[in-house]
A and B are shown apart, each in its own frame.
Chain A
Amino acid sequence: MLSTKHSRVSIILVCFILGFMLAVQFHSTQNTLKSSTQYQRAEELSQRLLQIRHERDALKKQYAAQLKSPDKLSSAAVIEAGASAVEGPGLVLTIVDSDKKALADENVNLYVVHDEDMLRIVNELRAAGAEAIAINGQRVVATTEIRCAGPTISVNNERSAPPFQIKAIGNTETMENALKMRGGVIETLGVWGIKINMKAEKNINIPAYNRVNNFKYAVPVEKGDNK
């Protein structure tokens, strides 16, 4: 009975319509899936990723353009701004949490490295004439923060956990003496068992500051405008 021409046409028609309906339904279901929150979240994240990539590329271009036409910054300014990697003789400090056991009635916090300890060390190094400092590979510049971030320390908004490594270029002897001074940083931290290993090296490399600061509020004043 299938062979009659009429029924063949009708079967083809019916199957065609059925297939059409199936596909439309499938398509609609897919679209409703797309409006679900999880899907939207993924979409949003990928959008953001794209946007940030664009931003990064734009900044790269800006950076390259600026490299090509430098405003004749003095090398002192370049080093101070952390605009390029620097090398020279200096100290490499490694700071490790204490492995002493805290007594029952003592605060465990005293035995770990804090942002304040790092600040003291960096401050001491600067006072001793360090010219470039990096903490765990993050260049310390004027806008750099050293901040407690839970169990980690955030430097240039980059978190890192102990052991911390501080590299400082400068007069090795002065810096060493400044740190080892009586009642100085190493002694006070040593009370709690926090170990600071110091190594003087002939040539250490400190990376450039890897962020772009957009100064929104501070505007430079021309020299002649000073009142």
Chain B
Amino acid sequence: MIFAIISLILGALLGYFCNITIPAEYSKLFSVALLAGLDAVFGGLKAVTLKTFDNVNFVSGFFVNILLAALLIYIGDNLSIDLYYVALFVFGLRIFKNMSFLRHYMIKK
């Protein structure tokens, strides 16, 4: 767990000092990708507590979710379907659900 947090902080530092700015036209895609990544991580956390954590599942879920989310938004934009909000809704809902599950689990423990 500690490794995970340390690597998270390291990544954040690198990202901050790399001075990368996402251009405005891709900011939508990136934010959804970020949300998908967060969702995958929370899903992983939940799996850990349920003791159903599967490494391949977790890693593939993380990357595929991110790419898929960005791709879907991109396609939606080109077809003028606002899938952005749908993705926000779905991922947001799932993150909240997973978080409340984690909370329940902690309280029970």
Contact = CB atoms under 8 A, between A and B. Distances in A.
Nearest to A31: B21
A15 interface: yes
Nearest to B19: A27
A176 B31 CA distance: 79
Contacts of B10: 16, 19
Given A16-B10, A17-B37, A19-B10, A11 B24 contact: no
A7 interface: yes
B14 A20 contact: yes
Contacts of A10: 55, 58-59
Interface string B1-25: 1011101111111111011111010
Interface stretch (B38-46, B81-89, B97-105): B38-46
Nearest to B26: A28
A12 B51 contact: no
B15 A24 contact: yes
A15 B55 contact: no
B4 A23 contact: no
A96 to B, nearest CB: 61
Nearest to B14: A20
Contacts of A27: 15-16, 19-21
A4 B9 CA distance: 22
A18 B48 contact: no
A21 B37 contact: yes
Contact of B16 (A1, A2, A8, A26): A26
A163 B21 CA distance: 58
Nearest to B31: A25
B59 to A, nearest CB: 5
A32 to B, nearest CB: 7
A12 B41 contact: no
A22 interface: yes
Nearest to A21: B34
A21 B62 CA distance: 13
A22 B34 contact: yes
Nearest to B37: A18
Contacts of A2: 1, 48, 53
A24 B37 CA distance: 14
B35 to A, nearest CB: 10
Given A23-B15, A27-B16, A7 B53 contact: yes
A6 interface: yes
B21 A14 contact: no
B33 interface: yes
A183 B73 CA distance: 87
A24 B20 contact: yes
A52 interface: no
Interface in B47-71: 48, 51, 53, 55, 58-59, 62
A78 interface: no
Q: Identify the interface centre among A7, A19, A26: most chain B CB within 10 Å of its CB.
A: A19
Given A10-B58, A14-B58, A32-B24, A23 B14 contact: yes
Given A15-B5, A23-B14, A27-B15, 5 more contacts: A8-B3, A17-B11, A21-B11, A24-B30, A28-B20
